[in-house]
Structures are given as C-alpha cells and as structure tokens.
Structure 1
Amino acid sequence: MPKKPLHEDWIAVIIAFVTIGLVCLGLKPLLPKFTVWSGAGSFSAQLGNTLLWQQMGILFLWVLASLFIARLLAGYTKLLNLIPSLLAVIFITLIAQLIANNSAMKSFGIEVVLFSLILGLLISNLIGVPGWMKPAIQTELYIKIGLILLGCNVIFKDILEAGALGIVQSVAVVFTVWYFSFWVCRKLGLDDEFRMMISSAVSICGVSAAIATAGAIEGDNKKLSHVISLVLIVAIPMMLFMPYIAIWAHMSPKVAGAWLGGTIDTSGAVVAAGTMLGEEALKYATLVKFSQNVLLGLAAFLISLYWSYSRKEANFEKPTLRTIWERFPKFVLGFVLASVFFSFILPTPLVAAAKGSLKELQTYWFALAFTCIGLETKFTDIFKMENGRPALAFIIAQVFNIFFTLGIAYLVFG
C-alpha cells in the first residue's frame, strides 16, 4: 500500500526545522547581498563580482534542495523540472533586489518585496507564465517556511501578549465580518457555495479559509479557484496602500500591525505590508494573522456541522472533533515551537549566532513568495465569472472589513 503523502503544512515545518538545525550546527549559507548603486559603473561592478555569483549559486542550491525534499515528502518523483523553473523564479527575485538597491529607489524607502511582486505581475499579465516555469511557483509553501523561520526572531512573551489580544480582535472581526459578507452575497444573489467560501475568505484568513470551507462543504473547484483569485488580486492594492495610510494616520506599530494582520487575506501580503512599516508592525501583523489562522479549524468544523445538517438529503458525512485538527494550520505550531526554542531552550550565545542567518533565509523565502504571488495573479480573472457579482460582493465585504477591523484594532491595541 503506497504511503500517504504529507500535507504541505507538515512539509513546511520539516523544511524549516531542518534549516534551523543546520544553521545552529554552523552551516550558514552566504546569500546574495547587493550594495547600493547609482550609475552604470557601480551597476557593472556588482555584476562582475565573483563572490556575488557564488552567493547566487548557493541560494539556488539551498532552495532547490528544499524543494526536492518537499516534492519527495509530497509523493512526487519528477524532480528535474524544478531546475529551470526555480532558475527563472530566483532570477526574477534577484533582478527585483537589484532594482530595490538603486540609490533612487532606496531614497523612497521601497522594499524589495514590492519589486518582486511587480515583476511577477508584469510577466503574468503582459506575457503569460509558460508551463515549464510553473513547478517552482509554490507560494504557500514559501510563505509557510518563511513564517516558521520568523518565529525564531519573535520572543515568546510577545506571542502571549499579542496573541491573547489578537484572539480577542479575531473573534470580534471573524464573526461580524463573516455575517456581513454572507448577507452581501445573499443580496447579490450568489448561491450558497459562493456565500460560504467568500465569507470565510474575507473574514478568516483568505486562501486557507476558502480551501478549508470548500473542503467542508465539498464545494465546486471552479468557484474555489475564482475566490482564490479574488483573494490574491484584492490583497495586492491593500498591501501597497494600507501601510502608507497607516503612516499618514500616525498609527502606532501595534495598531497598524493589528489592522494589516486582521484585514489583508494572504499571509504573504500581510508580511509584505508589515515589512514596509518595520519590525514591530510586522510582528503584530503576523501574530494577529496567526490568531485568525487558529480559528480556522473551529470555523471549518462549524461550517461542516451547519452544511451537513442543513443538507441532510445530500448525505454529507457528519463532522467530528477530528475536523478541527485536520483543518488547523500546522505551520502555526511550527512558528510557536520555533519561538519557544529561541526564547527558552537554546543557549543565548547560540541564539545570537544563528538569528542573523535565519533572518536572511526568511527574507529570501518571502521574496520568492512575492514573486510567485505576482506570477499567479491575472487581473482579468476578476470579471469573468457570473458578470462580476462575486467580485463585487468580495470587494464590498472587504471594504467593511477594513473599517471595522481598524476600529477594533484601536480598541484592543490602541
């Protein structure tokens, strides 16, 4: 009997902790570091730097080895098609980093993740992504690995403080926004499957919530794909503009982070937006987003319960407590465990020696993920299905979410 492949969450946990173990044992990869450049001379000097090319090779081999492990754990045997695909994704990401290190761009304070996203979007929407380039476009895996590594730099007492407050915020937001979204979808005449998936995606945690809800109600895959497209597309302008609104409104890092984490529907976009506001805002954005992820298992269980009992004629399987565990995002456990190790268990000198390298690796996993978000996103998809009614419902619900969550963030973290 063939062995059951591991879930992506567990694969991310394994890869992240193998990474942590190797770095703690002293294997610290030298990753590419571009210096600030302003003209053709300094630009050419960087491209002629042999050490920089060696570092690019190390980055490629490190990520390739991680993807090989991920593929094997997921039950795939075709590995060689990852090589050209990953070369393309890393090339785009490094071009973005080179652009971000231009002195003019540095003066505006624009982060490299924004350029990774923009380059990906340009390729996806103007040229199209060829089939050979798709195997290494694994956004969710990259984000999950990066988020677990982020746990190494988050002290556990901060998780307890912000996590408790984040749960308070998340419960208020999830229930209120979910019911408002469901009401809007009904007013626009969407069917029950669309209502459930859109409401969960807007109120809980985007793509993961939509997938969990579709699994709980055995929803149509075409509708699920459309909701996922909406999540990714709408998250982009939110990611770009909300940090600047937070700066303009003079929000504290706690409030700004809680606002971003509670409204933006993808972990990658939350991290990108939080990064633009600094380390503290990123920490609170991540912790609030994780607080919502924690509710995903419970939400999926309740949705399964409602769906099975409201549709008895379809003979849906009755949910059990196991549903909570199956839908619970396991990478959140990895994040917390990493924080526990670096807060309480590992010796202080070892923590100090390892955190820098882990931070660099985390940054590159996120940068690769943002490139992939751009490559996966096509703006034309938003208007194709049911004359744009799902898109309209999603946008209306998200606008309500933005304002309601901002008020809750001020009440809880202000």
Structure 2
Amino acid sequence: MTSVTKVKLHEDWVVVVLGFIIIALAISGVLLPVPALGWKNADELGNKVLSAHNLWLIVLQFLFVGAIGAIGVFLSGKRFGDYFRGFPIVYILTILALILAGSSQAKALNLEGVIFSLVLGLAISNAFDLPQWLRDSLSTELFVKIGLVLLGTSVIFADILKAGSLGLIQSLVVVTSVWYFAYWVCKKLKVDDEIAMMISSAVSICGVSAAIATAGAIKGDSKKLSYVISMVLITAIPMMIFMPVIAGYFNFPQEVTGAWLGGSIDTTGAVVASGTLVGEAALKISTIVKFSQNVLLGIAAFAISIYWTYTKHPAANDAEKKPTLKVIWERFPKFVIGFIAASLLFSFLLSPATGAAVKDSLKNLQGLWFALAFTSIGLETKFADLFNKESRKPLYAFLAAQTFNIFVTLAIAFLLFR
C-alpha cells in the first residue's frame, strides 16, 4: 500500500503519459488487432463476431486496455482492489454495447457506440442496486481523457489544406457565430455555465467529440455531458434524413447541400450518411467541411480551457479573483496539451505511411476508451439525473441553437459554394 501511495501524479498528467504509451507502442509496431463487431444477421453474429478468433481478439484488447488502466491507477495513487474487480464488468458491458451498435439496424440509424454504452449502463444502474465498491471502481475521467489524447492523432492539420479556402472560411464563420449564439441563448434561459459550454461546443464544432473535449477542459459534470451527448445523437438522426430531402425539394446545388450538411450536422457519421443520400459531389464537400471543423477542435479546447481556468474558478479571497499565470497553469487541464501534442506529432513529424499504418488501431482504441467512459457514466447515473425539470431549459437552448445553426450554415453555404 505504501509503494502505491508514493507514486501519485495529477490525473491530467497521467492520461498524457498513458496516451503516449499507447501511441509509442503503436508506432513501434505493437498494433492491437481490431475485433469485428459489425453484423447483419444472426449467422454473421455467430460466425464472425462471436467466433473463437474474434473472441480472442476481444480478450487481447481487454488485457491491453486493462493493463493501461492499471498503470493509470498506479500513477494516480488509487486502490487496485476495486479497479481489478470493477474493470472486467465495465469492459464486458461495453463490448455488449458495441456489438449492439454494430448491428446493421443500428448502423442504418447511424447510432454511435457511445449511446449504446450509456443506455446499457443506465438500464443496469436503474434496474439494480449496484454495490458501492463497483461505483468506487469506475474511472470515468481517466477513460474519457485517454480517449481525448488519442483523438488528437486523428486531428490532422493537413485537412485544412484539403478543405481549401472556402471550406475553412465556412468553418471559421459557422463555429464562431453558432458558438456565441448558442452560449447567448443558454445564458438567456439561465442554463448553468458547464452545460452551456458543452452545448455551445457540441452544436458549433463537431458534436460528441466537442462536447467530450469541452467537458474535459472545464472538468464538467459527467451527467451533464451525458445529457448533451444524448441530445446531439438524437437530433442528428432526423437532420440526417430530412435535410437531404429538403435540399432535393428546393433543388439546391450538390456543392451547397454538401457544405450545408457538413457544417450543421453534428456527427461525422451522420454527415457521411446524409451526403451519400444526395450524391458524390455533396458527399465530398460535406466530408471536407466537417474535417475542417474537426481540426478546429484542438484550438477551441485550448481557448475554452484558458477562459474557464481564468474566469470560472471560485476565488477564496479578493487577491485570487484574477489568478496569476502560475495559478492558471496549475488549474489548466493538462490533457489538452496531450491532445495538441498528439495532433502535432501526426500532422508534422510522422510520415504519412506510419500514420496510415497505425490509424485503424488507434481509432479503435480511442472509440473503446470513450465507450468505456460512457458505460461508467451510465452505471453511476439515475434516469432522474438525466431527465428532470431542470433538463428542459438546456433542451430548449440546444434546439434553438441547432435551428440557428441550420439557417446560418445554409446562408453561408450559398454565399461560398453556389
């Protein structure tokens, strides 16, 4: 016990260390095989997903991720006992959720794995009285922030060049205007600051990833994050279906439609699905515009971190109302540094061939860490915490901001891409 407590780092530095351990292993050739979790029918589920070989890959993944998490527990100075009892349960539930998300029906609706993880965790926590040791074992913050550091490996600055000047201009205008409008609406409706920041980032930048990054930057409540992500994923479905129909009815040019879809729909998967419904040109433009918005995530997370650290921490006395640079550094969420460092590494230092070789493995692990986090959030949350009278105002604010986003993005798309 003494040896465990001697080693203790701040959790934000721990996740940077763990994220770069994973990245270093991948670059050095230790690539974790990606298990197959997609299936169309019962035969494919049994013969592919539940085959002996694929189950072995799932076990290997469990051992790898479990070991990384154990290192995190050690570096954080936390207790091993609860972690070793609780992590296998969280992992098994997460894999079940990802298998459900891998069905052709779920993919047709473009439902992301994290929503299944959250719903499964919520169902269990509300149906059963979970033991305290299991709740104590949940490492939600650790899982989310490791995923965020790995997310940096997919935010490539060269994507700005792919977007071209028009895509970049649209992204900057949309992100800036929609973010401020969303935040203004939230404040008018007296939505608390944490959820207002998450809603603003989710609507204006890139949905789920932006909400998660913002929650990490401001050390936000995981229950509020769950609610924001639920709103993002639920509204993405009708937008994905009806926006191409509206564009077709009014005979919008494909380039305009693509820019509209890419700038206003909050999840990359839904953007691709809706662009495919319109045509090849719309798919190309929508993907490029969404890429350029995704690139802005690191800049936004850094700016939000600085703003929140400087203005939103309660002061113990008058002298601390405007904290010094030292205090800002102490409060600043260090995982943002890991995110940006990973992005710079994959953008400028690694060869494209190396990046392409490790891309799938790291993308799989990033999604897995997020899914583990949302299973944990579900297990520690009651439905009453997510959906209550206080949740109405954030919903109204989110819908108002999303409506503004749709119209502003359409106007800008016509100005730039017509």
Q: Which moved more, 1:156-165 or 1:50-59?
A: 156-165
State which of 285, 302, 305 in structure 2 corresponds to 1:294: 302
Partner Cα separation in structure 2 for residue 381 and residue 253 of structure 1 = 37
Partner of 2:284: none
Q: Is the 8 A contact 1:24 1:350 kept in 2?
A: yes
Q: 1:197 to 1:36 in 2, by over 3 A?
A: closer
Question: Could you tell me how far 1:25 is from its partner in structure 2?
Answer: 0.9
CA distance in 2, matches of 1:19, 1:339: 14
Structure 1 unpaired stretches of 5+: 186-193, 216-223, 262-272
* Alpha carbons of structure 1 residues 83 and 36: separation in structure 2 relative to 1, 3 Å: same
Alignment gaps of 5+ in structure 2: 202-209, 248-256, 273-286
Whole-angstrom distance in 2 between the partners of 1:159 and 1:3: 45
Q: Deviations over 1:270-318 (max 9, x none)?
A: xxx434434767645644544432222342255359x76xx98x77543
Q: 1:142, 1:403 → 2: CA distance?
A: 32
Q: Is the 8 A contact 1:148 1:335 kept in 2?
A: yes
Following superposition, the deviation at residue 249 of structure 1 comes to 0.9
Q: 2:357 aligns with which of 347, 353, 362?
A: 353
| C-alpha separation in 2, matches of 1:48 and 1:4 | 40
CA–CA separation in structure 2 for the residues paired with 1:155 and 1:357: 16
Give me the TM-score of the superposition, normalised by structure 1. 0.73
1:52 matched to 2:40? The reply is no
Letter in 2 for 1:12: V
Aligned residues: 373
CA drift at 1:27: 1.0
Q: Counterpart of 1:80 in 2: which secondary structure?
A: helix
Give the % identical residues. 29
> In the alignment, which of 26, 29, 32 is matched to residue 23 of structure 1?
26
Per-residue CA deviation, residues 144-179 of structure 1 (Å, 9 max, x unaligned), is: 322332332333122587788656544444444434
Report the counterpart of residue 186 of structure 2 in structure 1.
181
CA distance in 2, matches of 1:151, 1:212: 14
| Matching residue's letter, 2:18 | I
Classify the secondary structure of the residue corresponding to 1:400: helix
Which deviates more from structure 2 when the two are superposed, residues 139-148 or residues 158-167?
158-167
CA apart distance, 1:20: 1.0
Q: Decide whether aligned partners of structure 1 residues 360 and 201 sit closer, same or farther in structure 2, where only a CA change above 3 A counts.
A: closer
Cα distance in 2 for partners of 1:300, 1:125 equals: 33
**Distance in 1 (alpha carbons) for counterparts of 2:375 and 2:387:** 23
Identify the residue that residue 378 of structure 2 maps to in structure 1.
Answer: 374
Taking structure 2 as the reference length, the TM-score comes to: 0.72
Question: CA-to-partner distance for each residue in 1:238-257, whole Å, 9 max, x for gaps?
Answer: 32222431442138566545
- Cα distance in structure 2, aligned partners of 1:176 and 1:350: 41
Q: Distance in 1 between matches of 2:169 and 2:351?
A: 27
Distance 1:202 1:107 in 2: 26
1:13 maps to amino acid: V
Equivalence map 1:54-73=2 (5 Å) = 54-73=56-75
Q: Which moved more, 1:61-70 or 1:204-213?
A: 204-213
Instruction: Tell whether the 8 Å contact from 1:163 to 1:287 is kept in structure 2 after alignment.
Output: no
CA distance, structure 2, for counterparts of residue 115 and residue 195 of structure 1: 27
* Counterpart code for 1:16: G
Corresponding position of 1:399: 399
Q: Which residue of 1 aligns with 2:275?
A: none
Please report how far the alpha carbon of residue 380 of structure 1 lies from its aligned counterpart in structure 2 after TM superposition.
Answer: 0.9
